[in-house]
Amino acid sequence: MSDAPVIRSDVPGSFPWAVFHERHPRLVRQVLDALPYGPAERAAVERLLVESTTGVLEPLGEDAPDAAQWREWGGLVWGRPWGEAPFLWAESYFYRRLLDAIGYFRPGAWQGIDPFAPFKNAELAGVAVDEELVALSELDALPRTKRAEALLSSALWGNRADLGFQITAGPGGPASSGLLADDSAVLWSELDRAGDGRVCVVADNAGRELLPDLVLIDHLLTDGRAAEVVLYVKPQPYFVSDATTADVLASVDRLRTAPSAAAQAVGSRLWQALNRGTLVLRTHPFFCAPLPYHDLPADLRAELAGAALTILKGDLNYRRLVGDRLWPPTTPFAETAGHFPSAVAALRTLKSDVIVGLDAATVARLDGTGTTWRVDGRHAVIQVCAGS
Ligand SMILES: O=P(O)(O)OC[C@@]1(O)O[C@H](CO)[C@@H](O)[C@@H]1O
């Protein structure tokens, strides 16, 4: 076990503290403004905000379908201030309790209604998406290697389009300033080595991140880099814009009806791939669990073990892969990701304190800038832990 400190949200002024005390209050206002929830839901959401900033962790009611599971996942945290729980745990539980507050799992009018759908829909409908999809037609003219690089890059930087992050950083966030680690050559060689195996993609955000992810998946399938792609999505709304099955369907539809022949062709091929079973959508409750991937349950571990490569998208998946700890940033990536059941690639823009696999000169340069480089979304990594 590592002795790197587990990140918590009880240090005023820290990034995790700001998530609870600045990001969540804004998020809650936006959720309550976006849908006409009644007095009971509104009061429950307000109570959650007070509990999660100044109160102690209360378990789910016994009538919740996953109450027993969460009691077990919580272990000794119940009755403790939220900030004393691991940040990863507490943040995940916040989203579960938000669904509880708005009646997502309770029989009634709000059952199954995604509280984040208004934001996701607005993003998907935006003209910026049309412009991005029109640009797809330029890719056909590129040589194979350049096309693959461009698709990987847009799937990577698409991770900035995370609606939770934008609540505090503003739309689009600051301009990007580059890759801090780039194992993309290893990623492509892992795919080539595996020939026509199965590639798993663990999705992150819907909308402007999922669209380039889907275009990359189409490339893997049509370019002979994967015989089958399994796309894992969340079983329920989570971390604001995380993709669910409904979001994948909306994105495929957006592609098929886009004002760009190239985008329409991608959308049609993905539809056919779903029909044929070369593209498979899957989910698992563990994708909304408050735990690191080190604790993968046996069934999901076995499923992922069969992959030639698993691509994990985004910041939260990165935190779950390497462990949500204040690692020395020069800790080798393989030391923290080697437990994963298949070769694994992380495509992540930096939006939280966790980082590994950097060289000392890069860390010194970034620290010397005096910026919030670990959390401001301007930097990214492509890190790969190859299979044996
Ligand atoms: O996983 P994603 O969408 O890339 O990022 C999730 C995120 O916005 O939420 C967490 C803080 O709330 C951080 O891990 C990160 O900033």
Looking at residue 199, its amino acid is V
Q: Please name the residue that has the structure tokens 């304190």.
A: 353
Closest-CA residue to 218 (of 237, 199, 234): 199
Query: Which structure tokens are listed for 291?
Result: 């735990």
Q: Which fold has domain 127-385?
A: Rossmann fold (3.40.50)
User: Could you tell me the residue ranges of all domains in the chain?
Assistant: 15-101, 127-385
pLDDT of 2:
78
The span from the CA of 151 to the CA of 154, in Å, is: 5
Nearest atom (ligand 1) to Cα of 162: 3
Q: What is the pLDDT of residue 172?
A: 54
pLDDT at site 163: 75
pLDDT at residue number 371: 95
What's the complex ipTM?
A: 0.95
Length of the chain: 388
287 lines ligand 1 (CB under 6 A): no
Say how far apart CA 243 and CA 240 lie, in whole Å: 9
In this prediction, residue 173 carries a pLDDT of 53
Q: How many angstroms is it from 91 CA to the middle of ligand 1? A: 10
pLDDT in tens, the chain (388 residues): 578 999 999 999 999 999 999 999 999 999 999 999 999 999 999 999 999 999 999 999 999 999 999 999 999 999 999 999 999 999 999 999 999 999 999 999 999 999 999 999 999 999 889 988 988 988 888 999 999 999 999 999 999 877 777 767 665 555 566 899 999 999 999 998 877 799 999 999 999 999 999 999 999 999 999 999 999 999 999 999 999 999 999 999 999 999 899 999 999 999 999 999 999 999 999 999 999 999 999 999 999 999 999 999 999 999 999 999 999 999 999 999 999 999 999 999 999 999 999 999 999 999 999 999 999 999 999 999 997 6
Locate the ligand 1 atom nearest the alpha carbon of residue 318 and give its number.
Answer: 1
pLDDT value for 195 = 73
Pick the closest to residue 288 from 256, 224, 243 (CA basis). Answer: 243
Query: Nearest to residue 115, comparing CAs of 41, 31, 29?
Result: 31
Residue 201 near ligand 1, beta carbon < 6 Å: no
Cα–Cα distances in angstroms (integers) from residue 358 to residues 3, 162, 329, 349, in the given order: 19, 24, 6, 14
CA of 211 to the centre of ligand 1 (A): 18
Angle, vertex CA 81, rays to CA 79 and CA 82, nearest 5:
110
